A and B are shown apart, each in its own frame.
Chain A
Amino acid sequence: MMDSDLSPQDKKDLDKFIKFFALKTVQVIVQARLGEKVCTRSLSSPTGSDWFNLAIKDIPEVTHESKKALAGQLPGIERSMCVEISLKTSEGDSMELETWCLEMNEKCDRDIKVSYTVYNRMSLLLKSLLAITRVTPAYKLSRKQGHDYVILYRIYFGEVQLTGLGEGFQTVRVGVVGTPIGTITLSCAYRTNLAFMSTRQFERTAPIMGIIIDHFVERPFGNVGHMHPCIYRAPGEDEGAYNGVEDSQEVCTTSFSTSPPSQLYCSRLSYQSPVLDGAADFCHPSTLNAANPHQMGVPGKEGGVPQQVPVQPCHGAQAEHRRVSSCPPADHVPATPSSSGEDAETSSRSVGVKSGSPCGLLETTFTRKVGAFVNKPGTKVTTASLDLPFAAFAPRAYDLEENDPMVQPPESSATSSPLQGSLHSQGSGESGGPAQDDFVMVDFKPAFSKDDLLPMDLGTFYREFQNPPQLTSLTIDVSSQSMAEDLDALPEKLAVYEKNIDEFDAFVDTLQ
């Protein structure tokens, strides 16, 4: 392709537009698969940092992954940028759901004005992307992700790979933007054959309830390597100016000119040197002249280096995989790793720990459980805790558990104070834990709450019962019936139904 018709400035602008278009495209796609509704505010005055005049937040991790995939290159002819969305179940099965492709073909539009028309059309294309990402089947799946499965994304650069989408996948074209160096196309190929989902999804007979997933338990979603979870927790509730902008974020101005010859010109972009690229890249304002008024853009407000990578695992698990399927509520006190490690029997909801915990406020007087957070009987009390609040409740160092009437609670998990966790007595002799038990894992119960039927907290309860349970008739119990048996049972069933036909008719009448 010849871009000799393109002025150097236009070429520079075009490259910048393409780069940021690619980054924003990835943001839109990933954010649409987070499982939550997205909401950004309209601003009547431009901030200078909203590319394409659209309020699309930048999740730093996603930007980082995109830039890593691009590795300094730009999407171009035979260099497509793809975002692959897949689903991974708690059993470890995974399935590609869709692949979004940002490609470029050789069809050039030499007459098009870069800094006006191309820019505006890219903005339009991003709006179309926002609309289309809610329409493909993966959107509904992503809104329901949680216990049974999670949605992951992967960004890659190069050749488009669609083989993982199964047979009969459909393609939807989001749109195209012609540029002087080629035509950018954005499309999505999505799986239509979700047969794997319909059989495997319903195999679980009961949701996991009452299990704290902590870093001593084998994570159900394992190590997913290069895949990334579509889950993001913003550092703060009110992002406001969204300070999570990377310091390499380049600003855009949104000034346009309406003068006749230069009506199609955008003002020059100003940008700060990107730290990651390491290149100083300054644009100086060109002199104003009547024919082509340019205007130096005002740098938008830039946040500093993002404070933290979002999606911090609750307990510092391996960095690659950051999905916590049922993260304990924030009120859990994080525990230090204890050497009892993997043999944590985490079926109990909470752990009461003997004293010595610096978190005296929530301490209970019991030692629980094999494995994590277990304390050796009788060795733990660090009387340094004497100056802790509620130190009076701390059992003495030499009290034996057997003698402590509180240690052997009744079978019911009635709490004796609002601040105590539910109590479970397990073989305290098998502690094997470390000598010190500085941190406890306590299940905080709101005051006056009762452990009625299910010992779980509100957050877990809500997550569990947010969606209706799967119908038992849809669960396929592999071990029991086969098709032949089903067919054999049919005549009997039919006979029964025929016998009760009057009842059914009456029922149907009530529905009319």
Chain B
Amino acid sequence: MNCRSEALEVSVEGRQVDEAMLALLHTILLHRSTGKFHYKKEGTYSIGTVGTQDIDCDFIDFSFVRVSSDELDRAIRKAVGEFKDAMGNGMDGMGQISLEFYQKKKSRWPFSDECIPWEVWSIKVNVVNLANEQERQICREKVGEKLGEKVINIVEVINRHEYLPKMPTQSEVDNVFDTSLKDVQPYLYKITFQITDTLGSSVSTTMRRLIKDTLAL
């Protein structure tokens, strides 16, 4: 199966990285989360209810909607925090954070389960340093507009209704969904990132990742 890959790019100031990433990742996860499945007899299941909440950004003129799940929010914030730390503070730089949705495929022993991605969102981030308050104010508004455009892009992709894993039976649900959260159930996902310095060299990180992935099989 071909994995669908979508790329987004934003330029933000250092202190806007967190909120920009949260906004985009949460927007994607809003569309890729369902309520909790409750399986019953005869192979039927019911689905819980997904709540939503508005979040206002402090450093960007922007508001977004996320799933009402503190657990999910914590997980995303943790990943974004790691990304931000890796990017460093106050330095110009480029990085890319990827949100990958995958399915697990059981393999025979001794091989471990395969993770087959079916949708990957890559968000390239350019971090800029601004000289004065006026530029920062303009950046606030501009980044807000840009994020709005990105949300529209995300929605456009999602509404193409391309491949989605089919609804699993009870025994297979953990291969498709992340059932560890108690209030919502996103598709299985993982967040990875890579940082490039201003010279743009990312060979070392990519190689590292390749080797790690190969060894994980």
Contact = CB atoms under 8 A, between A and B. Distances in A.
Contact of B64 (A45, A134, A259, A511): A134
Interface stretch (A86-94, A170-178, A364-372, A419-427): A170-178
Given A130-B52, A135-B152, A254-B47, A42 B42 contact: no
Contact of A39 (B54, B154, B168): B54
A407 B65 CA distance: 56
Nearest to B173: A258
B69 A45 contact: no
B110 interface: no
B67 A134 contact: no
A125 B50 CA distance: 14
Interface string A249-272: 000011111110001000100000
Contacts of A132: 151-152, 155
Contacts of A257: 42-45
A256 B44 contact: yes
Given A40-B53, A55-B51, A128 B161 contact: no
Contacts of B78: none
B132 A53 contact: no
Interface string A378-419: 000000000000000000000000000000000000000000
A296 to B, nearest CB: 11
Contact of B155 (A44, A55, A175, A267): A175
B139 interface: no
Contacts of A65: none
Contact of A254 (B35, B151, B154): B35
Contacts of A55: 49-52, 68
Contacts of A463: none
A53 B45 contact: no
Contacts, number: 160
Interface in B62-76: 63-65, 67-69
Interface string A279-321: 0000000001000010100000000000000000000000000
**Interface bin, chain B:** 35 or more
Contacts of B27: 131
Contacts of A130: 30, 52, 65
Contacts of A131: 27, 30-31, 64-65, 151, 154-155
A182 B156 CA distance: 20
A46 B67 CA distance: 16
B208 interface: no
Interface string B83-96: 00000000000000
Contacts of B190: none
Given A134-B63, A172-B152, A256-B47, A128 B158 contact: yes
B159 A125 contact: yes
B73 to A, nearest CB: 11
Interface string B149-181: 001101110110100001111100000000000
B205 to A, nearest CB: 31
B36 interface: yes
A53 B182 contact: no
Given A55-B51, A132-B152, A174-B159, A42 B169 contact: no
Interface of A: 37-47, 50, 53-55, 121, 124-125, 127-128, 130-132, 134-135, 139-140, 143, 172-176, 178, 253-259, 263, 267, 288, 293, 295, 511-512
Instruction: In the A-B complex, list the 6 residue pairs whose CB atoms are closest, starting with the nearest.
Output: A175-B159, A37-B54, A40-B51, A55-B51, A39-B53, A42-B51
7 contacts: A37-B53, A39-B53, A44-B35, A44-B38, A130-B52, A140-B61, A259-B42
Given A44-B48, A176-B159, A259-B42, 6 more contacts: A40-B53, A41-B68, A42-B184, A44-B183, A54-B50, A124-B159
